[in-house]
Amino acid sequence: MNRILTQLFIIIASTVLVNQINAQTPVSFQTIESSPNAGGPADYSLVGLELSRQLLLEPKLKTAQTELELLDSIVYIESFEGIIYNGNKNEWGYDAEGNKTYYSWYFWNTVTESWMGIQRWDSIYNASDQLSMITIDNWNSETRRWKPGNKIELEYNAEGGLILYANYSWNNVAGDWECSSKTESTHSYTEDNSHIIFSITYNYNSETGEWTPHHRNEINYDSNGNRTLYNASLLDSASNTWVFKTGSFKYEDLYDEQGNQTLASYYIWDSKIDHWKGQGDLLESSYDSIGNETSQLIKNWDVSLNQWVNNSKSVILYNESGLLFKQITCSWDSLTGDWVAVYQLENSINEDGEITSIIESEWNNADSLWVIFSRQDIFYDTYENVILSTFYQLDEQSGDFIKTNDTEYIYNDSGDKLIEEASSYYYDGIPYVIKTNYYYSIHSVSSLNTDIYIETKNPLVYPNPFTDQLSFKLNNNNNNIRFVLELFNSAGQRVWSKCIQNSETIDVANLARGVYFYTLSHDNVKLRGKLIKN
């Protein structure tokens, strides 16, 4: 299964009316979307916790000095008849060990017709390759220079868990950094290896020189590393205890034994009813034995009933090869208390397992049939990369499909890096163009994971799910070639390592039940996949 197709399955299975194919957009600066914290701005303490977890889970292999082509910048431009109406530019820099240490963000000023700064990040890593400090500068439009904004310092315990996240702001009068807030965290583990984090965020009063508790977060992860709970409570001054009140929130998530997310929900505290009130959508998902999502139920919060109620339901179907070929979505009719079909998506799949077209239809009650309203055609290169995606809408008067927009993708000669992505939206035949360019250059680094990873769903390791034994079919005629098998749990910890040969069988009865990720390595090539132990 190619990378584009995998992304497409995820998008189709998780949306109802939007069906866009993502090309293999480069992994750039890791952006972590912070959730709203209790009664304040973005919860930087949570950003720090999640950033710490991600950095700890990223493997970093020490290598000799090597030359690597790394992403330097992304330029996004919107134009119409040659005039730029909107634009963004992102730039990155790297240290000698390949860590991203610099990030800047600009927007296109249509008045001056030049790039204007928005924000710049400079990062420092400690000896353990953990992010230890970030300085954030903001753009001064008058001086057209960067000015100090914030500074973040991070500290970790012996196990690598983030224990301190301190935020400083720049004092223009004193010309120095001053304390703004800090988050102190504690980590604990239960007998089943669940991870619990309690963090308390304090605000600093520069006049009194005192720290004032603002809110407390509780974050729970199960033994597979999946976040199951994240909430915020505030300090009650009368009882000096942490309580839920206006400004508090919580996320609750559930997973099945294979690690698939079956429930996602979000709540805020309603002081009027002194209870949690659902916000947004509650999502319930079901999966088949190999992890394909087969149904998706969306509920909304009913204020009058103070509970979640049905909104829409999708059934997702796969062909014999396990490829998604149809999705049917129904809406809930509260008057009849039944589901009503409203939308259908159908994929055409070629012999290479590539989706070549997507048809969207809506149910016509009067004629009791599906009526097509949209079509998307997809084309690939020899590397199985999407090179063109064209969208059509049905014109009800003429009965013809009218092209509304298309997206072209250009890659490098090796087909492994996206160079340009250009979307054209047609208005009376004149395209409004949105173009994104990706720029790379050669960097000399001395410490980086330079292994070539190949995602595969072929049965190289079987059975899956497994119980006590694993066997290998490496499709290699030379049985003397030895591969290194490594098994990692969902927290990124290596739990098994062994040299194996083709057709060999190993005993893994001592492994705990759960989800595992494997790599089969030979030289600098790694085959990577997912396994489930029952």
The DSSP string of 36-56 is: B-TTSSB-HHHHHHHHHHHHH
Those residues whose C-beta lies under 8 Å from the C-beta of residue 233, and which sit 6 or more positions away, are 38, 215, 216, 218, 242, 243, 244, 248
> What are the residue ranges in the chain where pLDDT is below 70?
1-65, 447-460, 473-482, 490-493, 501-503, 522-526
Give pTM, 2 decimals. 0.71
| Spatial distance between the Cα atoms of 316 and 294, rounded to a whole number of angstroms | 5
328: β partners: 315, 344
Q: What fold, for 1-31+342-405?
A: Lipocalin (2.40.128)
pLDDT score of 301: 97
CB 167 within 8 A of CB 161: no
Question: Which residues, in sequence order, are CB contacts of 441 under 8 Å at separation 6+?
Answer: 69, 70, 72
Taking the C-alpha atoms of residue 18 and residue 314, their distance in angstroms, rounded to an integer, is 14
Tracing tokens 């996320």 back to the chain, one arrives at 251
> What is the domain partition of the chain in residue ranges?
1-31+342-405, 451-534
pLDDT per residue as tens digits for the range 343-374 = 999 999 998 888 999 999 999 999 999 999 99
The strand pairing partners of 256, in sequence order, are: none
pLDDT at position 144, please? 85
Domain 451-534 -> CATH class? mainly beta
| Residue 201 pLDDT | 96
Q: What would the DSSP string read from start to end of 145-170?
A: EEEEEEEEEEEE-TTS-EEEEEEEEE
Q: Give 402: exposed, middle or buried? Use CB within 10 Å, 0-12, 13-18, 19+.
A: exposed
pLDDT of residue 363: 95
* Alpha-carbon span 515 to 493, nearest angstrom: 12
Residue 188 Cα distances to 157, 170, 191, angstroms: 12, 34, 10
pLDDT digits (tens, 9 = 90+) for 425-452: 998 878 999 999 999 999 887 744 444 4
What are the counts of helices (DSSP H) followed by strands (DSSP E) for the chain? 2, 34
